[in-house]
Amino acid sequence: MQLTNRSKKTDKSDLSLLERTYWPGVVKGMGITIKHFFSKKATIRYPEQKRYLGPVFRGHHILKRDELGRERCTACGLCAVACPAEAISMVAAERVKGEEKLYREEKYAASYEVNMLRCIFCGLCEEACPKQAIYLRHDKFVPVFTSRDEVIYGKDILVEDLNDRYERDAWTKEEMSTLWKKQKD
């Protein structure tokens, strides 16, 4: 049965005199390798040049603010429930007068912690969130940690910085490939 059209008919006839000296084969091989000498390199020089990983890559967690700069999270706990690794924990608090600019609704997360030793970056918290508050960034890795007190990410790390807002710049494959091309040049 033929599965692909790439199969080649094998030649079992005797080697000709020239072939038996191996010179044509050797010269051909040398030609192929020297051709590669001048061809384009496939290397991405990693630390300097980073490949666009795609809009669906799941990296560093972020707690989004809304367009007025208020925290979206209402500490409903659905993300913690959805989390299969039980990495998320939070303490809810009630908004008092004068804090309307900080929190969007009456209830908010006084503390919100993600344990990075447990997190498996499955993205279920993202899906569970009814307020579109938690996301996994597509453009940032979780950095390497060397001690235990760096492991639990509190609100100081997670909440979005208003001066450097997180946006996804591509949502489709086509947008992604144009971005990648732009980055390459």
Partner 1 sequence: MDIVLLVKSILIITIFALSLGIAAYETYFERVIAAFIQDRVGPDRAGPFGLLQPLADGGKLFFKEDFVPTMADKWLFILGPSISMFTALMTSVVIPFGDTFSIKGQLIEVQGMDVNIGILWVFGVVSLGVYGILIGGWASNNKYSLFGAIRAASQNISYELAMGISLLAVILVSESLSIRDIVTRQHGINWNVFHQPLGFMLFLTCALAECNRTPFDLPESENELVAGYHTEYGSMKLGLYLFSEYINMFISSAVIASLYFGGFNYPGMDFIHEFLVKNTGSVLGHNLATAIGIIIFFLKTFFFIFVFIWIRWTLPRFKYDQLMNLAWKWMLPLSVANLIIEAAAELTPMPFLASWVGLAILALGYVIFRPLFFKKNLKQNLQ
- C-beta atoms surrounding 18 within 10 Å: 10
Nearer to partner 1, 43 or 146 (CB): 43
Confirm or reject binding of residue 172 to partner 1 (CB under 8 A).
no
Residues 6+ apart with CB under 8 A from 128: 78, 79, 81, 82
Confirm or reject binding of residue 43 to partner 1 (CB under 8 A).
yes
Query: In angstroms, what is the minimal distance from the CB of 36 to partner 1?
Result: 5
Residue 11: half-sphere exposure toward Cβ, Cα within 13 Å:
4
Query: In angstroms, what is the minimal distance from the CB of 140 to partner 1?
Result: 25
| CA 125 – CA 59 distance, rounded (Å) | 13
Confirm or reject binding of residue 40 to partner 1 (CB under 8 A).
yes
Confirm or reject binding of residue 161 to partner 1 (CB under 8 A).
no
Nearer to partner 1, 24 or 29 (CB): 29
Confirm or reject binding of residue 41 to partner 1 (CB under 8 A).
yes
Q: By C-alpha distance, which of 154, 62, 74 is closest to 108? A: 74
User: Which of 3, 34, 68, 144 contacts partner 1 by CB under 8 A?
Assistant: 34
Nearer to partner 1, 22 or 141 (CB): 22
For residue 60, give the amino acid letter: H
Scanning 1-9, 23-31, 93-101, 155-163 for contacts with partner 1 by CB under 8 A, the matching segment is: 23-31
Query: In angstroms, what is the minimal distance from the CB of 57 to partner 1?
Result: 25
Using CB under 8 A, list all residues that contact partner 1: 12, 14-15, 17, 26, 29-30, 32-34, 36-37, 39-43, 45
